[in-house]
Structure 1
């Protein structure tokens, strides 16, 4: 026969269970990223052609600015003065980044290109303008842009995901891009030697591979992609205050 619990013991057990449930819920919630600065060596066909600086800055409650500045320092990129800057303002919403505005600017001695993307989440409308008239389409919850894609992917891996589907706002629509962890590999980059998870985009034939150490960095230690000129980025430094 099981002895009856006293009222005090019963209240204690209920309080303990409630505390455990609250702790479990807190642990399960994804935490917002901390501000940081990361620098990358930019390579093309094995030759260093530039340097990229990526920064994440908090600008308000649950709002951030994510900026990627690339400067040509070698080869043709230096010769034509090729520089790009991508700036995203995003909100931390439902435990993930969600784009509010995205601006892209590319300037060289012979070509300039600009793109502005803005999301009105009240009306769920995306507007994209490259100077030839605006394009409108419906947004999707959790949508990011091509600039914040590597960060969003790294944060998903940090939270334990091995297969990730990200809605990405491009010029005329939202793409549901699919990514999967393929293997854990040892690799060396200027920032050091790491055991990293290699992630591949699986819904296209355009090569995209990124290597992450999610326990240490929210951004990749190495990224190689065909889109944008077969570039490879290698992490040089990472600092989070």
Structure 2
């Protein structure tokens, strides 16, 4: 009987510890200058907030403030709702909306973990099975930051895209001193690995600063056409 009670007590304590475990990251609000091929075209705000119900929201908003982006009235809002599990985000819902004079685009995804199904609306409707640890494409940056915070050695993530789950792998690069509008930071460079020539042409790199709670001080994305979009940190509040 004593052994049974001890086992039950240990299980209860483990459950309480899991429920009471703090989130991997603190809420924040960061502003970035958004550049294309070196020329500033807009501003991006990235915000992480606790919804108070066990879920969290990561929201980015980009507005065109210069050049063609301003003329076209570019406005992009990307929202991810997720929960923390074992120090990593787990997707619950995702929404992407782009408005402008020349282009409108929407993308939505819901994650039904009871039915083990992802439902995506993007130029049509798609359904496919969930996998453990699944996240949406915006939450990759958050997953990288959380893993760096915990000293992870492996940076591989199942990511929900249009019609399937895509495995994204990143490698940890050298430390770099980075100058951005917000200041000078010691950073760790994370770069995506690609399986195909097309993946390798679409370079994705982020510079994470431990002094910022492992927030990215800079994010860079190059597309297959050779255009590069870069986000440089202007300010951050926790």
Q: What is the TM-score with the length of structure 2 in the denominator?
A: 0.84
Corresponding position: 1:147 with 2:138:
yes
Corresponding residue number in structure 2 for 1:59: 51
Q: Does 1:213 align with 2:205?
A: no
Q: Which residue of 1 aligns with 2:10?
A: none
On the 8 A contact 1:30/1:159 being kept in 2, the answer is no
Moved over 3 A (4+): none
Output aligned runs, 1:94-109, within 5 Å. Answer: 94-109=86-101
Which one has a bigger Cα radius of gyration?
1
Q: Give yes or no for contact 1:40–1:234 (8 Å, CA) kept in 2.
A: yes
Question: Gapped runs of 5+ residues in structure 1?
Answer: 1-21
Are residue 124 (structure 1) and residue 116 (structure 2) matched?
A: yes
Aligned partners of 1:190 and 1:239: how far apart in 2? 15
What does 1:22-41 correspond to in 2, within 5 Å? 31-41=23-33
Question: What are structure 2's unaligned runs of at least 5 residues?
Answer: 1-13
* 1:225 and 2:221 aligned: yes
Q: How many residues align?
A: 214
Secondary structure of the equivalent of 2:146?
helix
Structure 2 equivalent of residue 185 of structure 1:
176
C-alpha distance in structure 2 between counterparts of 1:69 and 1:63, whole Å: 20
**1:159 is matched with which residue?**
150
Counterparts in 2 of 1:79 and 1:51: CA distance versus 1, 3 Å: same
Partner of 1:16: none
SS in 2 for 1:221: strand
Shift of 1:62: 2.7
Instruction: Tell me which residue corresponds to 2:162.
Output: 171
